[in-house]
Amino acid sequence: MKNTNNEIELRSEEVQDILTAMPNGFLRQGIFWAGFIFFVILILSFVIEFPAKVSGIAQLTTAIPPQRIIAQNNGRISHLLVSNDSQVNAGTHLALLANSAEYEQVLLLKEVLKLINIDEMKNPSFKFSFPIDSLNFSELGSIAVAYENFESAYIDYHLEYGLNPFIKRINTSKQLEKGIHRRISLLQEQVNLLNRELQLTSENEKRNKILLDKGVVSNVEFERTQIATVEIRKQLKISLEEITALENEVYNTNQFSSDAGFNNQISKLHKLNTLKRKFDQLTSAITDWESQFLFKSNTKGYVAYTKRWAVNDQVLKGQSIFYVLPLSNQRIIAEAFIEPQFSGNIKENQSVRLDITKYPAQKFGYAIGEVISISEVPDENGKYLLLADMGTELRTTLNKLIPYNPFQATNIDIIVERKSLAQSFLDKLRIKRIN
């Protein structure tokens, strides 16, 4: 029944009038323009592209990184040696914390030690010289113990090489040996004379024996001749024993001289090695003192105070005190750590843009650069290090020059690819369909 009523209503005169009536002109134009606009939007969605980006947090540095100078101890600034924005060279002293050492004495001691060639000290024949008597190093603070040890070692070394006690002993032994040789020569002459005398008395004894047998001489006379021969033999034996004793003394003297020469070399080498060791300990003590109390630059550049420092200001351990900024024309580098899920999309030479926190992009524009590299392996946090070259100055898309400040935080966008609106929409649909 209801179907019959519907057919009657659809075939009624009023419905047929509506279906056969043409739309008016305004409606036809509206439909045309709506279709045209939709068609234009559709075309533009395939033509207009927008960047697909990977975002992160970066900090600025340079190809030669700025030196950040950090306090190693709590303390009070006793000397400010350079002013803010001063140009310095490598090794320039910037400031000093209060300590018990006299700054000028430490500097003088270090300069004197620089004049000593450590390589020459390795040569055993090298003679070390240090102006211990002409310079005053009485206020060295924490370096004093190392300096006193070095001073003691130097005095031992100087006495060993200056007084040469072993050499004097050797020279005394040589003089003694010469005297012994003279005594041996005299005894040898005496032995020769006694041998001659013994020969003569022996012949005289033989003659007296013959005369005794013939009854020419008495027994007393013959015995007197024998006694003379025995006495000469006795004197000869004594002289030979003295020569032997003196020869043994010569041997002992030679042995003493040889031992003294060897001990002399050992003693000198020991004293020199001790001096070298104390020298190294002293230079290490100076280095430790510098690391604890002295701020100095390791590179050439400009000093930048981290705050308005003045003498007697307190500093805390680990606090940044100065920056040493490289000289101009250094390439500015943006460093960023990228999450692993985005790292595969990043390639060299891709564009990057920086929105520096202190200079918002809405007002100052973006600084533009390009990717230099991205690490192949992650760090301990599982992130990849990205380096981007920003040129020698930070000029933005609005042609504004932003001053470079080291380690300042900035937002970074890496333009990994450009997609049309339609492609992006289709990709999202595809991802939803896959999911």
For residues 86 and 108, state if they share a domain. Answer: no
Check whether residue 221 and residue 336 sit in a common domain: no
Structural domain range at position 26: 2-47
Q: What is the domain-level CATH number for residue 202?
A: 1.10.287.1490
Please tell me whether residues 279 and 418 are part of one structural domain.
no
pLDDT digits (tens, 9 = 90+) for 54-94: 888 888 888 788 888 999 989 999 999 999 888 999 889 99
Number of compact structural domains in the chain: 4
State the Cα–Cα distance between residues 299 and 65, nearest whole angstrom.
Answer: 10
Same-domain pairing of 343 and 421: yes
CA distances from residue 170 to 13, 252, 260 in whole angstroms, order as listed: 150, 12, 6
Separation of first and last alpha carbons in the chain: 49
129 and 139 housed in the same domain = yes
CB count within 10 Å of CB 95 equals 24
Same domain? 139 vs 241: yes
CATH of the domain at 346: 2.40.30.170
Would the pTM of this model clear 0.75, i.e. be above it? no
Give exposure, 4-13, as e/b (b: 16+ Cβ within 10 Å).
eeeeeeeeee
Same domain for 28 and 174 = no
User: In sequence order, what E strands does 9-66 have?
Assistant: 49-62
User: CB count, 10 Å around CB of 418?
Assistant: 12
Instruction: Say if residue 354's pLDDT is above 60.
Output: yes
Same domain, 28 and 119: no
Residues 40 and 150 in one domain: no
Same domain assignment for residues 249 and 337: no
Same domain, yes or no: 39 and 184? no
For 401, half-sphere exposure in the C-beta direction (CA atoms, 13 angstrom radius) is 4
Q: Which amino acid is at 72?
A: Q
For residue 326, give the DSSP letter.
P
Residues 312, 358, single domain; the answer is no
Q: How confident is the model at residue 429 (pLDDT cuts 50, 70, 90)?
A: low
Tokens of 327: 């000289």
- Lowest-confidence region among 43-52, 70-79, 185-194: 43-52
Interior CA angle at 13 toward 7 and 18, to 5°?
A: 95
Q: How is 250-282 classified by DSSP, letter by letter?
A: HHHHHHHHHHHHHHHHHHHHHHHHHHHHHHHHH
Note the pLDDT tens digit of each residue in 126-137: 666 777 777 788
